[in-house]
């Protein structure tokens, strides 16, 4: 279960969400956005392990202090909200590994076995992939959106909401360009809210019209060239990572 706190424009009663989660039998919750500290006591009482997504080492250290089971370290390459410090995974993951004692899950920019091998080498204990799993047979989004990601390059994302200090990385479409224009002109969030609403996003995901709403995609979309099922994806991911670690890197160290 994912609980993202404090990055939306509307008021949400998070206590109600936490109550439902605690009653549901869910055993693991990924929190993101603001600190999960206000909810930790109830999650602990329900026997729920919390994994908190962080875009800065100091946030990860705070999460460790309040008792999370693990942290997700989210590099600047990621889809969605990369924070405001623009630190890529190549630096952020080892920086976190240098200071944390809880397990680290790397995310942002990872789409294949090379990314898995690199994340492990940088000190992560595992990986998380969002954009890559969007482009699978099982993902419940329109085929046109999946194909748009297959066809994109690594440069085909935009950073929006920067002027509101709520940066989001999205696919560069008509909505992203319009939002960027409004921000550049000093516009207020009320001027763009209708363009990036949840309803508009849902319309894009379901209709297949890539320009219908905000489409959250990471830079690693430029690495994705097929639409496998999840079983095929994971098997290929692990096999490729093992080949890189056991053969390519081993040859370099034995030379």
Tens of pLDDT, residue by residue over 86-131, are 999 999 999 999 999 999 999 999 999 999 999 999 999 999 999 9
Buried b / exposed e along 40-68 (16+ C-beta atoms within 10 A)? beebeebebebbbbbbbbebbebbbeeeb
Whole-number pLDDT of residue 251? 82
Both 36 and 86 in one domain: the answer is: yes
Read off φ and ψ for residue 19, nearest 5 degrees.
-60, -45
* Domain's final residue, options 101, 129, 157: 129
* Domain's final residue, options 76, 98, 129: 129
In a domain, 56, yes or no: yes
In a domain, 136, yes or no: no
Both 214 and 148 in one domain: the answer is: yes
What 3-state DSSP class applies to 179? helix
In a domain, 138, yes or no: no
In a domain, 151, yes or no: yes
Question: How far, rounded to the nearest angstrom, does the alpha carbon of residue 223 sit from its chain's CA centroid?
Answer: 16
Q: Which of 132, 153, 154, 134 is nearest to 144 (CA)?
A: 134
| 118: CATH | 3.20.20.70
Both 157 and 115 in one domain: the answer is: no
Instruction: Give the H/E segment covering residue 52.
Output: strand 49-54
For the chain, residues with pLDDT lower than 50 are none
Both 115 and 162 in one domain: the answer is: no
Burial tier of 18 (Cβ tally within 10 Å: 0-12, 13-18, 19+)? buried
Domain, as residue range, for 69: 2-129
In a domain, 240, yes or no: no
Both 7 and 124 in one domain: the answer is: yes
Q: Which of 237, 216, 239, 250 is nearest to 110 (CA)?
A: 237
Distance CA 119, CA 226 (A): 22
Sign of CA dihedral 170, 225, 208, 210: positive
Half-sphere exposure of 68 (CA within 13 A, CB side): 30
Whole-number pLDDT of residue 30? 97
Both 89 and 196 in one domain: the answer is: no
Whole-number pLDDT of residue 67? 97
What residue has token string 């921000």?
Answer: 183
User: Taking a C-beta distance cutoff of 8 angstroms, is the pair 203, 213 a contact?
Assistant: yes
Both 120 and 164 in one domain: the answer is: no
User: Taking a C-beta distance cutoff of 8 angstroms, is the pair 33, 5 a contact?
Assistant: yes
Both 121 and 151 in one domain: the answer is: no
In a domain, 216, yes or no: yes
* pTM confidence score: 0.92
In a domain, 134, yes or no: no
């Amino acid at each position: 279960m994912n609980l993202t706190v404090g990055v939306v424009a509307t008021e949400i009663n998070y206590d109600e969400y936490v109550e439902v989660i605690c009653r549901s039998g869910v055993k693991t919750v990924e929190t993101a956005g603001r600190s999960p500290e206000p909810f930790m006591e109830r999650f602990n009482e329900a026997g729920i392990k919390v994994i908190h997504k962080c875009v800065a080492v100091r946030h990860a250290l705070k999460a460790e202090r309040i008792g999370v089971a693990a942290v997700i370290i989210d590099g600047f390459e990621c889809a969605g909200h990369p924070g405001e410090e623009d630190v890529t995974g190549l630096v952020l993951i080892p920086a976190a590994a240098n200071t944390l004692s809880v397990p680290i899950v790397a995310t942002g920019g990872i789409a294949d076995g090379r990314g898995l091998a690199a994340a492990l080498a940088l000190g992560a204990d595992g990986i998380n992939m969002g954009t890559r799993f969007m482009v699978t047979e099982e993902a419940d989004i329109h085929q046109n959106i999946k194909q748009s990601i297959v066809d994109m390059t690594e440069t085909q994302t935009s950073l929006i909401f920067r002027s509101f200090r709520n940066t989001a990385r999205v696919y560069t479409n008509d909505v992203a360009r319009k939002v960027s224009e409004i921000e550049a002109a000093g516009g207020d969030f009320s001027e763009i809210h209708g363009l990036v609403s949840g309803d508009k996003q849902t319309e894009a995901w379901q209709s297949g019209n890539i320009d219908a709403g905000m489409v959250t995609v990471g830079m690693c979309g430029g690495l994705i060239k097929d639409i496998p099922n999840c079983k095929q994806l994971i098997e290929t991911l692990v096999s490729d990572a093992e080949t890189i670690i056991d053969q390519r890197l081993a040859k370099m160290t034995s030379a």
